[in-house]
């Protein structure tokens, strides 16, 4: 499902690579790995993640 853009606000060492993009799908596997506490709204000037782009 499409949702408002979101991204992780803090570097997540356990999830390298997922902090440099934003997501706009609620079921994106990479987006789901972002901890709820670290989830921020907006694109933060980042490119869209590959999964969200392709779905």
Q: Which is nearer to Zn ion, 19 or 23 (CB)?
A: 23
C-alpha closest to that of 44 among 13, 22, 14:
22
User: Taking CB under 5 A as the criterion, which residues in 14-33 touch Zn ion?
Assistant: 23, 28, 30-31
- Say whether residue 49 binds Zn ion (CB under 5 A): yes
Question: Could you say whether residue 34 binds Zn ion (CB under 5 A)?
Answer: no
Q: Which residues bind Zn ion (CB under 5 A)?
A: 23, 28, 30-31, 49, 51-52
């Amino acid at each position: 499902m499409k949702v408002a853009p979101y991204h992780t606000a803090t570097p997540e060492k356990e999830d390298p690579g997922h902090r440099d993009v934003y997501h706009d799908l609620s079921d994106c596997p990479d987006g789901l790995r972002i901890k709820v506490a670290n989830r921020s709204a907006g694109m933060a000037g980042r490119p869209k993640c590959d999964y969200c782009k392709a779905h």
